[in-house]
Amino acid sequence: MRRSVPKRVAEIVGEGGLAILNLREKGSEIDRILHRAIAVPAMVDIHTELPDDIETLREQLLTSTTREDFRRIRKANFSYRVTTDLEAIREFHARHYAPLVAQQHPEDGRIASMRKMLGDLDHGGELVCADIDGHWVAGILNIAHDDRYALKNLGIRDADNSVRQKRVVAALIVRSLERAVELGQDRATLGRSLPFLGKGPVWFKAKWNGTVTRDPAMRDLHFFMDLRHDAVRTLLAASPVIHSEGNELVASTWLEPGEKPLQATVRDAGRFPGISRWYVLADSETLSAGSEQLASTDRVVPVSVSSGGSHPLWLGEVLPTSPG
């Protein structure tokens, strides 16, 4: 089967697909094709360093990106409480957490057991609850470790989307970070996410003063992509992929022509602490038109790509630095 892997990768990529290789051990047949791929961590971590007082924290969190969140949070008039009551944990699991996971991930969602949640209480666990007019609408189970305050399991009562629209997730993140400061913690972790940027989970968590990192113990996946295909370029434009180069995290994205994509790319390249470089791939004309703005940040590395031709244009081969 190992001898058939290169052929199968070529078939998938040749049809414009994304081939992902999860290697538990290497072999000579597979080693010969790894230079074509980028090494992508299965998940990335996000943490935020905390100041000594809540007032400074609020000043750090209030940015142009979060201003609308804070406006809606104030409008919703949430009140908060912290509890370790066993019955509250059971209700949270049944009415808040499990329904939200089932709604967000109907096919592959993994619901942590109630036993696991109750066990977390013996290791610093506590439930931060959000209420509106005395009604419990959402919560998040967090754990106060010796070296960090970990934001863990989020829930919204009956997965009610109208509550979500009030920015209750942002409200619980802010209150959890405040709670961490109250407990004297200097770091909070915001959980793990899939290694894609764009306006997804990493973007949402990172805007709360978060830094993107990786667990060195987590195995890399190998992504094979052929840049000749429209679908691949569209994927990279919409969801830049985070990947590894040695001990660093970098990102690769495709830049579409036009002022709006250019501005968004330059803005995002400066937005994610922990991402050392952004490889901005595009045709030479698009890069030339945006050269001045792309040069405004030293995180951007323009990569000119001619997307035609009859042979695969492997992402791993066109980047100026080989993946680690």
Residue with tokens 């005395």: 134
Span 160-190, pLDDT tens digits: 999 999 999 999 999 999 999 999 999 999 9
Three-class secondary structure of residue 249 per DSSP: strand
**Range with lowest mean pLDDT among 3-12, 129-138, 150-159, 232-241:** 3-12
Q: Is the separation of the CB atoms in 172 and 180 below 8 Å?
A: no
The pLDDT of residue 252 is: 97
Tokens of 178: 């405040």
Contacts of 247 (CB under 8 A, 6+ apart): 216, 324
The pLDDT of residue 212 is: 95
The pLDDT of residue 14 is: 86
Check whether 323 has a pLDDT greater than 60.
no
The pLDDT of residue 110 is: 82
Sign (positive/negative) of CA torsion 281, 287, 293, 299? positive
The pLDDT of residue 195 is: 94
Q: How far apart are CA 226 and CA 16, in angstroms?
A: 7
The pLDDT of residue 4 is: 80
Three-class secondary structure of residue 116 per DSSP: helix
The pLDDT of residue 216 is: 82
Check whether 50 has a pLDDT greater than 60.
yes
0.75 surpassed by pTM: yes
Span 259-311, pLDDT tens digits: 999 999 999 998 888 999 999 999 999 999 999 999 998 999 999 998 777 78
The per-type count for the chain, helices as H runs and strands as E runs, is 15, 14
Check whether 241 has a pLDDT greater than 90.
yes
The pLDDT of residue 301 is: 95
* Radius of gyration (C-alpha) of the chain in whole angstroms: 22
Tokens of 174: 């802010």
Kindly list the distances between the CA atom of residue 144 and the CA atoms of 87, 121, 150, in Å, as whole numbers in the listed order.
20, 10, 6
Q: What is the rounded average pLDDT for all residues in the chain?
A: 91
End-to-end, the C-alpha distance of the chain in Å comes to: 25
Q: Is the separation of the CB atoms in 250 and 242 below 8 Å?
A: yes
| Cα three-residue angle 19-21-27, rounded to 5 degrees | 130
Check whether 322 has a pLDDT greater than 60.
no
Q: How confident is the model at residue 25 (pLDDT cuts 50, 70, 90)?
A: low
Long-range contact list for 130-134, CB < 8 A, 24+ apart? 130/78, 130/79, 130/80, 130/168, 130/171, 130/172, 130/175, 131/78, 131/79, 131/80, 131/81, 132/76, 132/77, 132/78, 132/79, 132/163, 132/166, 133/77
The identity of residue 192, as a single letter, is R
Q: How confident is the model at residue 67 (pLDDT cuts 50, 70, 90)?
A: very high
The pLDDT of residue 1 is: 60
Tokens of 160: 């009610």
Q: Is the separation of the CB atoms in 189 and 167 below 8 Å?
A: no
